[in-house]
Amino acid sequence: MRRPIVPAGDQALVQIVDAALADATRRSGSWLVCRPGCTQCCIGVFSISQLDALRLHRGLVELGDREPERAARVRERARRSVERLSPQFPGSPESGILGEGENAERRFEDFANDEPCPVLDPATGTCELYASRPITCRAFGPPVRSEQGLGVCELCFHGATDEQIAGCEMEVDPEDLESKLLRELEQTSGRSGRTLIAFALAD
């Protein structure tokens, strides 16, 4: 399988997000209970960017170079997931691109909430492509601000006050590098739109 070309700035983005996660983890202390084997955030689909999709695809190719049987299992889980998801997919199942607009967003809210991530190893409860995981996965756990307010994993921060939670907020991408890289990717390759992990890996 051909190794996808990921924009050069992606490594800088990953470093920024991982550094922000390390800082938030330090400030969160024992309130942050994320550990290998905790898979709640790996159940239920969520959208990823084309940059995430390329990074994951490259990671799967690299895994195939090292451990072809393991990579084949990931790819097979992704294919089976696509088969399950396609009939009700809120977008184009042929391209794997999610639809846009209020109607598509409403459909996605209740879509495949019990579907396991194909990258999740069911035997170990760990991520097979951890080093290549999407930005959403890298930022899950610590408090992260969105349009809905300050969100946090429901398993974490038990007993913490609102002020203590806010004091552990993670600034994921303060310079908005991801948006710049996505614009660059669209201009150079025509790749745009949000997709799902399964569709990114099922080829």
pLDDT single digits (tens) 70-129: 999 999 999 999 999 999 999 999 999 999 999 988 999 989 999 999 999 999 999 999
What is the pLDDT of the chain when averaged over all its residues? 93
Short-list 171, 177, 178, CA closest to 144: 171
In sign, the C-alpha dihedral spanning 28, 29, 31, 37 is positive
Residue 1 covered by a domain:
no
Looking at the predicted structure, is the pLDDT value of residue 1 above 80? Answer: no
- Name the domain count of the chain: 1
What confidence score (pLDDT) does residue 152 get? 86
Query: Which segment of 3-7, 49-53, 75-79, 120-124 scores lowest on mean pLDDT?
Result: 3-7
Query: Which segment of 5-19, 117-131, 146-160, 179-193 scores lowest on mean pLDDT?
Result: 146-160
Instruction: Report how far residue 142's alpha carbon sits from residue 28's, in angstroms, rounded to the nearest whole number.
Output: 7
Looking at the predicted structure, is the pLDDT value of residue 35 above 80? Answer: yes
What confidence score (pLDDT) does residue 148 get? 79
- Mean pLDDT, rounded, for 10-18: 96
Residue-range definition of the domain harbouring residue 191: 10-201
What confidence score (pLDDT) does residue 151 get? 85
2 — pLDDT class (breaks 50, 70, 90): low
Instruction: Report how far residue 62's alpha carbon sits from residue 71's, in angstroms, rounded to the nearest whole number.
Output: 9
